[in-house]
Structure 1
Amino acid sequence: MSYQQEPQPRYGNCDSYFVESHDDGIYAHRAEARERARAIARMQQRVLAEELSKQTSEEYQEDIMDHMEYMESQTMPDVNSIDIQTEIQWFMRPYLLDFLVEAHAAFQLLPETLFLAVNLLDRYCSRRVVYKRHYQLVGCAALLIAAKFGDRKDRVPTVRELKSMCCSLYDDEMFTQMEWHVLQTLNWMVGHPTVDAFLQLAIHETEYDPEVEHMSLYIAEIALFHKEFVSTRPSVLARSALALSRCILSRTQVNTSEWAGAYDPQTVMSLSNHLYQPSQVLSRKYSSIHLSSVSTTIEEFLQRQAQVAKRAAAAPPAPPAALLGEPKPASDVYGGPQTPQKTQYGSVVQHGCLTPPITPDGEFAPNNVIKVQTVSAPVYPTTPTPDHPANVQQPQAQYYQDLYVQPQHV
């Protein structure tokens, strides 16, 4: 009887199915070299693209500036039309802007999105009569349109998120209807050269300084809260804010013969008058390190200016003849109008705070003076009012009592 001998394995006996190879190091080295070559090629392509883009922008820079200046003249709001609004008043505006600033920061949107949203809000209020109960709804629709227009798709807020930030004061359909109505009212002309767009052009003409950029944005956002800057063109406001920022930070000013240095001295003085007491929400936003803590820098600058003015006031008085042509003390420079601060909603909700869309007459007015409506019947079509239970007229006392409930955490 013969036994068949089992064939020997070709590569010898092996206790494991995994065989070590001496060529793995060579393959890994070759793969690493290929990846390094791809990275170098991508970097070279990026540098070449930036160089070509820079050459193209310089070639068409004059045409771009002409178009931006034309567009800013075509998309400016009308302050006189906002003045004749029958329900919303200028003292309500800071409360709505505080809400928009918080929502803008919560969704981490681009700086130009906030400026565009405020422009859409003002332009809509220039053409339509807005009820107090719809003021916050118009602001949310403007922010939604601005985010869809120029921001990243993954950061655009949803209707559900905006509804949650408004404490479910409006239905989903109301946001959609108001968004469509704003676009139709503005003839679908959304593009507007913002302050940030002109500021980037002015900054690129000089050596980049992030602290100057952040402070210029902070000053420009402070200007959003005041009526006198609503009719100021963004190009003028951007260059004036940049000049004031360089002055505060003791940076060298740009030559006035260049476009970036052609600021308006009157606008610079007006901006400096509103640095004294900005919005608390805005000051807290720009106190972060990634925004160079510019709000803290301005506070320290104002304190030093106050000390200088105090020492100047303690000096011996000059002869009466010398006082005739002497300018006002430095302490009066920052004595201009101040931004109204929130009194009822001092604490901020985790995901935003409720801005009262319906403000009782005189509740937030200075010295509690009730404003008497002397304006005639509205000459513009009113904001659409959906058939919603919240819009049904109720007794005034019960209505305001139900409205000003404390916002819940969402």
Structure 2
Amino acid sequence: MAAFQPPTQHRYGHCDSYFVESHDDGIYAIRAEARERARNIARMQQRALAEELSKMTAEEYQEDIVDHMEYMESQTLADVNSIDIQTEIQWFMRPYLLDFLVEAHAAFQLLPETLFLAVNLLDRYCSRRVVYKRHYQLVGCAALLIAAKYGDKKDRVPTVRELKSMCCSLYDDEMFTQMEWHVLQTLNWIIGHPTVDAFLQLALSEGPFDPEVEHMTLYIAEIALFHKDFVSTRPSVLARSALALARCILNRPQANTSEWAGAYDAQTVMTLSNHLYQPSQVLSRKYASVHLSSVSATVDDFLQRQAQIARRAAAPPTPPATAVIEESKPITDNNMNPQTPQKTHHGAVMQHGCLTPPITPENEQFGHGYMAKPLAVHPVYPSTPTPDHSSNMQHQVPYYPNAYVSAQHH
């Protein structure tokens, strides 16, 4: 009879299952969490060290950087006189196109500098080429597309299909591509331009962070985009002047005259203040949002207070018993409510330009148009090969089917 054999003991002990819940798992988890925490702390320390080194390097080369930016802004500035002699586009059309670009810029959530760069590309192109009314919006879309590709986030760059939809399919896909190429060729592929936002960041770096001041300055600078007076104004001058006006409205202390931000232009500040009374409704709604500090409402309150002070100062002395101040009466002084100037019609023809391609196809969907003027142009630039539609110029359509296309259509 076989003797009784005890069960073989496993070297790790008895196990009823392959899935064992060990009491040591908690220790391993704690150690893993400690290692992850140490790695995060090391990353933060490295980031802080990198920012400190970048700040030291920036301070060392700050003067050279500013000098280069000021040189580049003079090389990439639009010429208002060349735009003024355009034969078809008029200054009163500019607010409609800018409203469209502001809404498209907000719809795609692009960076602030993208809008300023797009308007600069638009104005530089209009300084060198004759632009038809029917192509004005197309040039604006091409400028916005180029600016977004140049400096914005890749996932936010609008597509041609999206821009076509926002334009109510007024232009074909190929027309966006051709116009984008033609803008780049006209500008010799020089896209970089120090924007108002770039100079604003330099000015704000000299003091403590104040988001309300930054939003107010951007609001004033974007108002300036709508007006002829600032087309040829240097972005550095406009940034410092808008910042000074923003601080005045918000009752913030001004920068010292020894600082870069303190060297603002008083005349530019005065001109900016005169254009605050009737801003674009699209721009006003944009900056009425809370995440932009509701600065448009702040400006409205400031202007109302200034109007009340002006009325009290101009009111003749009357007996106290009969003195009545009409607080709710709006200002009717035209000097307090400047409008964007409209260019008078004249026969001036650009001496150094050529027709803007591509030619919009003729069809009935574009509505009833203006009577286009024949352009007696002697081009210096080589003409882009496009079909000759000179015989159908009397049927050309206005540049806008609507005042602007809402971004909500997208």
Could you say which TM-score interval applies, normalised by the shorter chain?
0.7 to 0.9
| SS in structure 1 of the partner of residue 188 of structure 2 | coil
Q: Report the residue type matching 2:274 in the other structure.
A: N
Q: Report the residue type matching 2:158 in the other structure.
A: P
| Structure 1 CA distance for aligned equivalents of residues 357 and 73 of structure 2 | 28
Matches of residues 333-372 of structure 1 in structure 2 within 5 Å?
335-338=336-339, 372=345
Q: How many residues align?
A: 368
CA gap of 1:333–1:64, structure 2 versus 1, over 3 A, is farther
* Residues 73 and 193 in structure 2, CA contact (< 8 A), matched pair in contact too: yes
In structure 1, the residue matched to 2:21 is 20
In structure 1, the residue matched to 2:311 is 310
* Residues 82 and 350 in structure 2, CA contact (< 8 A), matched pair in contact too: no
- Deviation track 1:217-249 (CA, whole Å, cap 9, x = no partner) reads 000000000001111110000000000011000
* Residues 199 and 238 in structure 1, CA contact (< 8 A), matched pair in contact too: yes
| Structure 2 CA distance for aligned equivalents of residues 172 and 9 of structure 1 | 78
**Structure 1 position 338, deviation (Å):** 3.0
Matched, 1:217 2:218: yes
| Structure 2 CA distance for aligned equivalents of residues 251 and 142 of structure 1 | 36
| Structure 2 CA distance for aligned equivalents of residues 398 and 72 of structure 1 | 37
* Residues 362 and 396 in structure 2, CA contact (< 8 A), matched pair in contact too: no
Matches of residues 8-407 of structure 1 in structure 2 within 5 Å?
10=10, 12=14, 14=16, 18-316=19-317, 335-338=336-339, 372-376=345-349, 379-386=352-359, 388-390=361-363, 403=401
**Structure 1 position 304, deviation (Å):** 0.9
- Deviation track 1:374-399 (CA, whole Å, cap 9, x = no partner) reads 22476411111247445968696895
Quick one: percent identity of the two aligned structures? 76
Q: Report the residue type matching 2:287 in the other structure.
A: Y
- Deviation track 1:4-32 (CA, whole Å, cap 9, x = no partner) reads 99977955463x65321101111110111
* Residues 195 and 237 in structure 1, CA contact (< 8 A), matched pair in contact too: yes
* Residues 199 and 239 in structure 1, CA contact (< 8 A), matched pair in contact too: yes
| Structure 1 CA distance for aligned equivalents of residues 180 and 71 of structure 2 | 26
| SS in structure 1 of the partner of residue 312 of structure 2 | helix
| Structure 1 CA distance for aligned equivalents of residues 299 and 208 of structure 2 | 22
| Structure 1 CA distance for aligned equivalents of residues 180 and 399 of structure 2 | 29
* Residues 113 and 147 in structure 1, CA contact (< 8 A), matched pair in contact too: yes
* Residues 134 and 400 in structure 2, CA contact (< 8 A), matched pair in contact too: no
**Structure 1 position 206, deviation (Å):** 1.1
- Deviation track 1:180-224 (CA, whole Å, cap 9, x = no partner) reads 100000001101000001010001011111100000000000000
| Structure 1 CA distance for aligned equivalents of residues 117 and 310 of structure 2 | 38
| Structure 2 CA distance for aligned equivalents of residues 255 and 13 of structure 1 | 79
CA gap of 1:331–1:26, structure 2 versus 1, over 3 A, is farther
| Structure 2 CA distance for aligned equivalents of residues 208 and 333 of structure 1 | 37
Q: Report the residue type matching 1:183 in the other structure.
A: L
Question: Where do 5+ consecutive residues of structure 2 fail to align?
Answer: 319-330, 364-386
| Structure 2 CA distance for aligned equivalents of residues 298 and 9 of structure 1 | 85
| Structure 2 CA distance for aligned equivalents of residues 256 and 299 of structure 1 | 29
TM-score by length of 2: 0.82
**Structure 1 position 309, deviation (Å):** 1.5
| SS in structure 2 of the partner of residue 260 of structure 1 | helix
Question: Where do 5+ consecutive residues of structure 1 fail to align?
Answer: 318-329, 341-364
In structure 1, the residue matched to 2:382 is none
* Residues 98 and 282 in structure 1, CA contact (< 8 A), matched pair in contact too: yes
| SS in structure 2 of the partner of residue 31 of structure 1 | helix
- Deviation track 1:267-310 (CA, whole Å, cap 9, x = no partner) reads 00000001111000000000111110000000011111111122
**Structure 1 position 334, deviation (Å):** 6.5
| Structure 2 CA distance for aligned equivalents of residues 386 and 398 of structure 1 | 10
Question: C-alpha root-mean-square deviation of aligned residues, in Å?
Answer: 3.0
**Structure 1 position 111, deviation (Å):** 0.5
* Residues 272 and 333 in structure 1, CA contact (< 8 A), matched pair in contact too: no
* Residues 275 and 338 in structure 2, CA contact (< 8 A), matched pair in contact too: yes
| Structure 2 CA distance for aligned equivalents of residues 82 and 217 of structure 1 | 25
| Structure 1 CA distance for aligned equivalents of residues 400 and 314 of structure 2 | 52
| SS in structure 1 of the partner of residue 93 of structure 2 | helix
